[in-house]
Amino acid sequence: MSRVEVLPSPAALAARAAEEIARLVAAALAEQESFTLALAGGSTPAACYRQLATRPLAEQIAWDRLHIFFGDERAVPPEHPDSNFRMATETLLAHVPLSADRVHRMEAEQADRDRAAREYERLLRTHLVAGGKAPDDAPRFDLILLGIGTDGHTASIFPGTEQQAAGPELVMPIFKEEDGSWRLTMTLPVLCAARAVIFLASGAGKSEVVRQILAGSDAAPRLPAARIRPVQGELLFLLDQDAAALLEQPR
């Protein structure tokens, strides 16, 4: 079951996303010891991360009970401008009381990408428990944040790589044809095992792909972002008005 919320602006989208993340964290930590969160990369989440690092939310979240992971990473060092880890550090991780042993960077710059993928998979299996009807017995995140590319990719699962990313691996190297770059990405079994997935999409450039994904168009099943359907979890699309511009208006 997916829910869609449309916010009036990118700033409102960022605030709503941060508020929802804080709400999910608080609800889960009322029942369990820790909370596992996988961050999205790209540019859209940056404003949301800044909100999480700002009062009041920064003071409401029990950072010392979170484990932070990354849904994907570019094959660049952590200080590189393209690094998702760098973006998350600059907007969030450097500004909240999170010990380094709770931030699990995806070392996609390693020359042996397969080894790096196996190392990250081991981390997932160490810190997360499998459970429920998760596909391939995949470990279950409490929350995974995802963006949507204009081609329908999510994390680093690009159109044409869906079979590769279908499991049983939980993390794998993926080659991005468009720019000839390598990435590491979590795969569909992990993304679909989460207790909650929140997609963030902003801007008119995403309106057509959002329409395809949400309208269930015949193109949708092929799009990677349309394949993220948590087996036993919540799915929320948080969009700003521009990204939602082509959605059928409720009558």
**Taking CB under 6 A as the criterion, which residues in 84-103 touch ligand 6PG?**
84
Residue 224 within binding range of ligand 6PG, rule CB under 6 A = no
Residue 169 within binding range of ligand 6PG, rule CB under 6 A = no
Only one of the segments 6-14, 52-60, 135-143, 152-160 lies at the binding site for ligand 6PG (rule: CB under 6 A); that segment is 152-160
Residue 173 within binding range of ligand 6PG, rule CB under 6 A = no
Strand order in the sheet with 196-201: 2-7, 234-240, 196-201, 143-147, 35-39, 66-70
Smallest separation, CB 68 to ligand 6PG (Å): 15
Site for ligand 6PG (CB under 6 A): which residue of 53, 72, 75, 242? 72
Q: What share of the chain is helix, strand, coil (3-state, %, to 5)?
A: 35, 20, 40
Distance CA(42)–CA(125), nearest Å, equals 25
Within the chain, residue ranges assigned H as helices are 10-29, 45-52, 57-60, 84-91, 113-127, 188-191, 207-214
The separation between the first and the last C-alpha atoms of the chain, rounded to the nearest angstrom, is 20
Residue 159 within binding range of ligand 6PG, rule CB under 6 A = no
Q: Taking Cα atoms as reference points, which of 52, 36, 143, 37 lies closest to residue 91? A: 52
Pairing of strands 72-74, 143-147: unpaired
Q: Taking Cα atoms as reference points, which of 96, 87, 70, 104 lies closest to residue 183? A: 70
Give the angle 237-50-202 at the CA atoms, nearest 5°.
35
Residue 152 within binding range of ligand 6PG, rule CB under 6 A = no
Site for ligand 6PG (CB under 6 A): which residue of 86, 104, 140, 153? 153
Q: Which residues contact 32 (CB under 8 A, 6 or more apart)?
A: none
Only one of the segments 3-11, 41-49, 102-110, 133-141 lies at the binding site for ligand 6PG (rule: CB under 6 A); that segment is 41-49
Site for ligand 6PG (CB under 6 A): which residue of 36, 44, 187, 212? 44
Smallest separation, CB 110 to ligand 6PG (Å): 17
Residue 83 within binding range of ligand 6PG, rule CB under 6 A = no
Residue 108 within binding range of ligand 6PG, rule CB under 6 A = no
Site for ligand 6PG (CB under 6 A): which residue of 11, 27, 32, 43? 43
Residue 177 within binding range of ligand 6PG, rule CB under 6 A = no
- Cβ proximity to ligand 6PG: between 84 and 187 the closer is 84
Residue-by-residue DSSP string for 49-78: HHHHTSTTHHHHS-GGGEEEEESEEESS-T
Smallest separation, CB 84 to ligand 6PG (Å): 5
Binding site for ligand 6PG (CB under 6 A): 40-44, 71-72, 84, 147-149, 153-156
